[in-house]
Chain A
Amino acid sequence: MRRRWADVWGGGAILGVSLLLLSQTLGDQFAHAEVARNPFWFPRLLLVLLTLAAVTMIVRGLATRQKEAGERPLWWRFLLVVAAVGLYLLTFDRAGFLIGSILFVPIFAALLGFRRPILSVVFSILFVSALWFVFADVFIVRPPGPGYDSLMDSLRGDDG
């Protein structure tokens, strides 16, 4: 029999976020305003309830036992995926959609153990180009960064 550690950690994380947000609602200039006109009243009510729920999760996790531990994820793989996706998303507007995405797909697939580089590069180019066409030409919503038009211009040495 094991303690329900997932509940303890989960409750702890929720408690931390809840208290952080709750600290933002205290000592406001609307302290003397009537309840309905105080912008901090409703969030404060929610966060107090959330804090109570988190504490209940922690206490229950410590007090009760379960027969089997749930299946644990591969943390290294999760962190690897988060790092790759995070890097891609946070550099998305600077690297541009075309270049960033065409590079991202095969690298991401390779990180996940996909060992057919030619297939993943071809898939990446076709998929990303199709998306570019759909967004830029069908929906007239231009994704960030240089498109095929400006890439071709730079290849031809045309700066204008």
Chain B
Amino acid sequence: MDSVLAALGAIAHPGIILVILGGTAIGIVVGAMPGLGSVLAITLALPLTFVLGPEASIALLLGLYCGSVYGGSISAILINTPGTPQAAATVFDGYPMTKRGDAALALGWATTASLIGGLLSTVVLIVAAPLLARIGLRFGPVEYFALGLFALTCVVSVAREDLVKGIAACLIGLAAATIGQDPLTGDLRLDFDSFDLSAGIGLVPFLVGLFALSEVFSRLAERQGATPTLLAQGAFRLPPLIELRRRAGVIFKSGMIGTWIGTLPGVGATAASMISYAEAKRTSPNRAKFGTGEPDGIIASETANNAVTSGALVPTLSLGIPGDPITAVMLGALVIQGVTPGPRLFVENPNLVVFIFVALFFVNIAMFVLGALICPIFSRLLRVPEPLLMAAVVVLIAIGTYTVNYNPFDLLVALCAGIAGFLLRLGGVPLAPIVIGFVLGPMIEQSLRQGLILHDGAFLAFFTQPIALALFILTAVFLAWPLLRARRERRQEATAHEQQEQR
């Protein structure tokens, strides 16, 4: 109870309120800009966390995270272009509502559903994270290695279309993290005798370059720029309470789907909103109207994608394992603040954990209020000319990256990471496994080598630990699953082809 009161006291500080409101508002705006997205919002804000305290940094990042996931729905509804991939399913029924003149109500449904999804998953986070952290306290190096490997496998196996590229991406992230000093012996490696590289590759320039700068390059090198058609001004109307009660089943189920998917490393909000949409389309009493502007479609997508935000924080906070690039960046930001997420966090810094829980409630409420208040402005912001917007993003990247260490080398790293990110996107190599690999790399290496030292170099001894063994089995299942699925699909295709030929 004392922790809750302390957290409420901290949040009542004008500075923290300002940060929550500012972060959420900026998150909504960035989320609403097609192509910018949650990762860009968080990576651009990462350097700011150096000058803010832990509470303010966390409040800022949570505001940006929840705000940007919600913001994607605005452009999905108004201009038929999801601002973030997470809002892709919102387009199916959001834009048809706009076309028939119900944009205000569609925005109202999206905002209300996002609020409920966010709050539902925060409750689950409060219940589940401490329980998981208690299990995590039993973890030694072997279990941490198995857990890190499992998280990487989850992320890789989601790269459904190309497992090899997913694995390559993951290895690139892990290898980049090994540049510089060895965490155990302190020896220098892969530094090419460069003084700048001897300190390793900085998290901020690497992530900012890989995501934000490569996004700028990708958008500007596209053959066709998106020219959104704005059908309606973004007014706002809350759905009637009776309608909300009538659709409570869809809301609750979508919230639970989003929260559950959020806790799984690597799956993410895009998949959550799609699965939730598909489930609602299958079971909703209004399923026949899906795709024609049915509010249940918006509710399913938006409740689920916002429920992922707190769900993804369950493994991040309790085990130190980020579920997606956004939580990976947040984990990095916490480490920068001297706060190491994981089971020890719940023992050593319970006040901060409670602060995160309470802040999430306030961020969701701020998102709802800000969404309702400033929706009409977004239609104007969506018209900012792309060249000016991109130039502004580059300036933000430069100042944000440089002021972390006042080292021009960081700008060079960001530039190289940006070019590499662009080329990797072009080659269809997913970027998410690179980030997760980069963030988890030091933990995986350290725990593997510590485990080997503990067991006198016998790797097979890792399989005698029950928790680690369970995680290794799960890892094998996750790795084998896409291969088996691909084989089954090939067989089905071949059978269909044969049947066609016989006819």
Which residues of A does B touch, CB under 8 Å?
6-7, 9-10, 13-14, 18, 21, 24-25, 30, 34-37, 39-40, 42-43, 46-47, 49-50, 53-54, 56-57, 60, 70-75, 77-78, 81-82, 85-86, 88-90, 92-93, 97, 101, 104-106, 108-110, 112-114, 116, 119-120, 123-124, 127-128, 131, 135, 139-141, 143-144
23 A-B contacts (beta carbon < 8 Å) = A10-B426, A10-B429, A24-B189, A25-B190, A36-B448, A39-B182, A42-B445, A42-B448, A46-B175, A81-B216, A85-B394, A85-B418, A89-B414, A90-B415, A92-B408, A93-B411, A97-B399, A101-B395, A104-B391, A105-B388, A105-B395, A109-B388, A116-B385
In the complex, residue of chain B having the shortest beta-carbon distance to the beta carbon of A101: B395
A10 and B424: CB pair below 8 A?
Answer: yes
Q: Told that A39-B184, A108-B394 touch, could you supply 10 new A-B pairs with CB distance under 8 A?
A: A24-B190, A36-B450, A37-B453, A43-B175, A46-B175, A50-B171, A72-B223, A73-B221, A90-B415, A92-B398
List of 9 A-B pairs having minimum Cβ-Cβ separation, nearest first: A10-B427, A39-B182, A73-B221, A36-B452, A78-B221, A112-B387, A109-B387, A114-B387, A53-B168
Contact of A143 (CB < 8 Å), options: B172, B390, B399, B453? B399
Residue of B nearest to A49 (CB): B171
CA of A107 to CA of B153 in the docked complex: distance in angstroms? 44
Query: A37–B192 Cα gap in the complex (Å)?
Result: 21
Contact with A along B415-456 (1 / 0, CB 8 A): 100110011101111000000000000000100111011000
- Determine if B402 and A92 form an interchain contact, defined as CB atoms under 8 angstroms apart: yes
Q: How far is the CB of B91 from chain A (nearest CB, A)?
A: 21
Q: What is the chain A residue whose CB lies nearest that of B446?
A: A42
Q: Which of A39, A82, A131, A144 contacts B396 (CB 8 A)?
A: A131
> Are A90 and B408 closer than 8 Å at their CB atoms?
yes
Q: Which residue of the partner chain B has the closest CB to A114?
A: B387
Distance to closest chain A CB from B388 (angstroms):
5
Instruction: Report how far A123 CA is from B403 CA in the complex, Å.
Output: 23
Interface residues of B in 145-173 (CB under 8 A from A): 164-165, 167-168, 171-172
Tell me whether chain B's interface is mostly helix, strand or loop, or mixed.
helix
In the complex the two chains form, is A85's CB within 8 Å of B223's CB?
no
CB-CB under 8 A for A73 and B457, given A108-B390, A114-B388: no
Residues of A within 8 A of B391 (CB): 104-106, 108-109, 120, 124
Nearest chain B residue, comparing its CB with the CB of A86: B415
Q: Compute how far the CA of A43 lies from the CA of B450 in the bound complex, rounded to whole angstroms.
A: 16
Number of residues of chain B lying within 8 A (CB) of chain A:
64
Contact: B164 with A53, CB < 8 Å?
yes
Q: Report B-chain residues with C-beta under 8 Å of the C-beta of A92.
A: 398, 402, 408, 411
Q: Report the bound CA distance from A56 to B164 in whole Å.
A: 8
Interface pair A82/B419, CB less than 8 Å apart = yes
Assess whether B51 is interfacial by the CB under 8 Å rule: yes
| Complex Cα–Cα for A2 and B187 (A) | 47
> Could you tell me if A139 and B178 are in contact, using CB atoms closer than 8 angstroms?
no
The chain A residue with its CB closest to the CB of B182 is A39
- In the complex, are the beta carbons of A39 and B385 less than 8 A apart? no
A to B contact number (C-beta, < 8 Å): 184
Query: Which one of A46, A70, A82 contacts B217 once the chains associate, using CB atoms below 8 Å?
Result: A82
Closest to A106 in B: B391
Of B50, B192, B445, most buried by chain A (CB within 10 Å of CB) is B445
Task: List chain B positions with a Cβ less than 8 A from chain A.
Answer: 48, 50-52, 164-165, 167-168, 171-172, 174-175, 178, 182, 184-185, 187, 189-190, 192, 213, 216-218, 220-223, 385-388, 390-392, 394-396, 398-399, 402-403, 406, 408, 411-412, 414-415, 418-419, 422-424, 426-429, 445, 448-450, 452-453, 457
Given the complex of chains A and B, what is the CA–CA distance between A112 and B178 in angstroms?
A: 38
Q: Are A78 and B220 in contact (CB under 8 A)?
A: yes
A89 closest partner in B (C-beta): B411
Tell me whether B167 and A53 are in contact (CB under 8 A): yes
Chain B nearest CB from A48 CB (Å) reads: 10
Report the bound CA distance from A50 to B169 in whole Å: 9
Are A39 and B175 in contact, with the CB atoms below 8 A?
no
A42 touches B403 (CB 8 A): no
Docked-complex contact B175 and A21, CB < 8 angstroms: yes
Q: Which of B190, B406, B419 contacts A21 (CB 8 A)?
A: B190
**Contact B192 A57, beta carbon cutoff 8 Å:** no
Docked complex Cα distance between A159 and B191 (Å) = 42
Point out the residues of chain A lying under 8 angstroms from B216, CB to CB. 81, 85
Give CA–CA (A110, B419) in the complex, Å: 22
CA distance A74 to B426 in the complex (A): 12
Contact of B164 among A9, A39, A43, A60 (CB under 8 A): A60
| A112 / chain B contacts, CB cutoff of 8 Å | 220, 386-387, 390
Cβ distance A55 to chain B, nearest Cβ, rounded Å: 10
Docked CA distance A113–B388 (Å): 11
Residues B172 and A14 in contact, CB atoms below 8 Å apart = yes
Chain B residues, CB < 8 A from A143: 399, 402-403
Docked-complex contact B395 and A104, CB < 8 angstroms: yes
Complex CA–CA separation, A47 to B429 (angstroms): 17
Alpha-carbon separation in the docked complex, A112 to B424 (Å): 23
Q: Are B222 and A74 in contact (CB under 8 A)?
A: yes
In the complex, are the beta carbons of A93 and B402 less than 8 A apart? Answer: yes
Complex-state Cα separation, A38 to B423, whole angstroms: 33
Closest to A8 in B: B427
Query: Which residues of the partner chain A approach B174 to less than 8 Å between Cβ atoms?
Result: 46
